[in-house]
Amino acid sequence: MTRTALVHGSLFGTGLWLYKRGERGSDPNKPIHARAFPAFAGQGMNKFQEQIEVWLSRAVPERAVNQCFDIPMVLASDIGLKRSENQDRVAALRIGGKSSGARPFVAVAVADGMGGMRDGAKCAALALSNFFHSLIVHRNLKLEHRAERAISDANNAVFDFAAGKGGTTLSAVILDDDLRPLIIHLGDTRVYAFANGGKIERLTVDDSLEEAVGGRGRDLLQFVGLGTGIQPHIRSVPAGVRHLAITTDGIHSVASSALESILAHAPDLKSASERLTALARWSGGHDNASSAFIDLQAIMQHIHRRNGDGIQLWDPFGTLTTIWITVAGPAPDGRQRQAIDLPKAEAEQESDAARPQTAVVPKLNKEKSPSKRTRKKKKEDSPGEDIQLAIHIEPTEAPETSDEDSR
């Protein structure tokens, strides 16, 4: 694997020059290799959304657990024993505000593509990538309004793709520096609140015939991709909740008493995640079993301290990191920078003429060995590969306070 470190970048023309740091020479920061990447002028965050979708759709092992230490959470996914494809997607997004000027926030989301309909895995990846993209674009809105826009944008994107013949569930927890976390829910992926040795409380109701209207059957009345008329459930997390778990229906095959016992007595989040996934397999592994376990109080402290910078994403199989690079003044070669049509946030912004521009440079960190999501024989580990994603150029912004929805 070629390991790279970003030394510096300069924005000029239509690209960003990145330099790999070499080990030879007296100056460890001396650039020994340069490569230009397109800036996708005028295409903005749509390219970023597409790259998130591609990343969420990459070939991965049949099961994995990712314990994240920057943000205290555990993400897990298991194809199970009966399915030929894993149609679940689990991911977390963090935007740090240490030097970018953006308000920090964290979102953790789980989507379960609907089997028996069109392209469940594609619908799940499309929903999550558009959900995250919308949270970033509408970052000046109040958190509840941002959640409404994000779930609406995800629904529209999946409907545009599948025309109502495919869809996915989506349940997520989002919070920003106001430290009042919200749950967004559509479908039958579930959110539980729990504490070690304490009470277990389910915070969502399935959008199924059985639970929503007291009928029979697990058919869903609404889901992401249904089209017009969806009514997503958005609620605050009850005060004092320490831990949250978001689970797909492969986990729900476990008896509720066993699930509650594991949540109540597991010594830590990773143990709880691993035990539930293993028990789902022992119970027959009839469906994809995925989960996100969150230490909510620790994440709130992390946001309050404004730790971290740029944009970072996690899923059960790896981490995708972006770097904010502030660039001011003329280009190193003396050429005048070309004007780039920069995407704006939802609220009106101040003039950016006197501000440095910020480049978002996605790169992949410590990606696990790729293999198929389908149930093919697992190959031996192979060296990771450099994956260089599209670049998005974004100005630092200030919200327009006269808009009641802006921050």
143's tokens: 């958190």
d(CA 285, CA 269) in angstroms, rounded, equals: 21
Residue with tokens 């990846």: 125
pLDDT at 245 over 70: yes
Tell me the sheet residues that pair with 183.
Answer: 173, 235
Residue with tokens 């003044």: 329
Whole-number pLDDT of residue 307 = 66
d(CA 19, CA 361) in angstroms, rounded, equals: 12
d(CA 225, CA 159) in angstroms, rounded, equals: 4
Whole-number pLDDT of residue 101 = 61
Whole-number pLDDT of residue 199 = 87
pLDDT at 120 over 60: yes
Taking residues 48-60, what's their average pLDDT? 93
Residue with tokens 């059960």: 316
d(CA 339, CA 380) in angstroms, rounded, equals: 48
More confident residue, 307 or 302: 302
**Start-end of CATH 3.60.40.10 domains in the chain:** 49-311
Q: pLDDT tens for residues 347-379?
A: 433 333 333 333 344 444 444 444 445 444 444
**Residues near 370 by beta carbon (within 8 Å), at least 6 away in sequence:** 58, 59, 60, 61, 382
Q: Which of 78-82, 352-356, 396-400 has the highest mean pLDDT?
A: 78-82
355's tokens: 């501000």
Which stretch of 28-37, 302-311, 336-345 has the lowest confidence by average pLDDT?
28-37
pLDDT at 337 over 80: no
pLDDT at 319 over 60: yes
pLDDT at 401 over 90: no
pLDDT at 121 over 90: yes
Q: pLDDT tens for residues 172-195?
A: 999 998 878 999 999 999 999 998
Whole-number pLDDT of residue 323 = 59
Whole-number pLDDT of residue 380 = 40
Whole-number pLDDT of residue 303 = 87
Sign of CA dihedral 328, 407, 53, 58: positive
Q: Say which DSSP state 390 is in.
A: -
Whole-number pLDDT of residue 330 = 46
Taking residues 373-400, what's their average pLDDT? 39
Give percent of the chain above pLDDT 70: 66
Three-class SS state of 174: strand
Q: pLDDT tens for residues 93-108?
A: 998 866 556 678 999 9
pLDDT at 326 over 60: no
More confident residue, 246 or 138: 246
Whole-number pLDDT of residue 324 = 52
b/e for 225-243, b at 16 or more Cβ within 10 A? bbeeebebbbeebeeebeb
pTM, entire model:
0.74
Residue with tokens 């996708």: 40
Average pLDDT, the chain: 75
More confident residue, 218 or 9: 218
Q: Which class does domain 49-311 fall in?
A: alpha beta
